[in-house]
Amino acid sequence: MELNRYIDHTLLKADATPEQIAKLCAEAKEYRFASVCVNSCYVPLAAKLLSGTDTKVCCVVGFPLGACLSEAKAAETRLAVEAGAEEVDMVINIGMAKAGDWDYVRKDIAAVAAAAHPKAIVKVIIECCLLTDDEKVTACLAAEADVALMRGTVGADMGVKAAGGIRTYADAVKMIAAGANRLGASAGIAIMKEAEGR
């Protein structure tokens, strides 16, 4: 298993500086992580620093709350893709999900997917800690319809990204064993160093 190719090396702090993003990109190149995941203002810098590598630039959209207008998410997506993002991690509107307005959630995802297509893939953040089990299932079904814009087919080919609290090699292996094919982690270096020691 190439653990490094599962990792989205992530820095999403509000106070992240260009120097910290440059360091994140250098680490991602060194470890050949799947992507760096940054806020949209840093996509141009990350795209420049990672040009010619196999590490992709991932941008969060509507992060962290997901509570902005779908049109704003679509505009942020378009601008990020134009600036070099190859992957987009969007946050669904959690309030609308909690209210049971799944039509709104589907349209929100569709707006971002349409803005990203065909240059970038879209990953949907559903904030599991805020949803009931039934809401999680419905959120996945809502996302599934719009993933089809990116893949042509869904079902078994749909990926799962685990993120939040993945700090150790054991955490990473547990998530992969559970079915994740991508890991969002700010502790990617620590995870890889622990893996190298095995």
**What confidence score (pLDDT) does residue 135 get?**
80
In a domain, 123, yes or no: yes
pTM: 0.85
**What confidence score (pLDDT) does residue 138 get?**
76
Segments of the chain with pLDDT less than 50 = 144-156
**What confidence score (pLDDT) does residue 177 get?**
83
Residue-wise DSSP of 32-69: T-SEEEE-GGGHHHHHHHHTTSSPEEEEEESTTT--S-
Beta bridge partners of 183: 7, 162
In a domain, 56, yes or no: yes
Please tell me the number of Cα atoms within 13 Å of 51 on its side-chain side: 8
Rounded Cα–Cα distance for residues 35 and 131 (Å): 27
Q: Whole domain around residue 42: which residue ranges?
A: 12-156
- State the CATH number of the domain containing residue 98: 3.20.20.70
In a domain, 39, yes or no: yes
Cβ atoms within 10 Å, residue 138: 17
Residue with tokens 């509107």: 93
In a domain, 62, yes or no: yes
Specify the 3-state DSSP secondary structure of 100.
coil
In a domain, 68, yes or no: yes
In a domain, 164, yes or no: no
In a domain, 64, yes or no: yes
In a domain, 3, yes or no: no
Rounded Cα–Cα distance for residues 47 and 191 (Å): 24
- Closest by CA to 78, choosing from 38, 123, 113, is 113
**What confidence score (pLDDT) does residue 150 get?**
32
Domains of the chain: total: 1
Rounded Cα–Cα distance for residues 123 and 66 (Å): 13
Rounded Cα–Cα distance for residues 25 and 48 (Å): 10
**What confidence score (pLDDT) does residue 153 get?**
31
Residue with tokens 């079902």: 155
Furthest-apart CA atoms within the chain: distance in Å: 48
Residue with tokens 């971002």: 112
- Closest by CA to 90, choosing from 103, 106, 98, 101, is 106
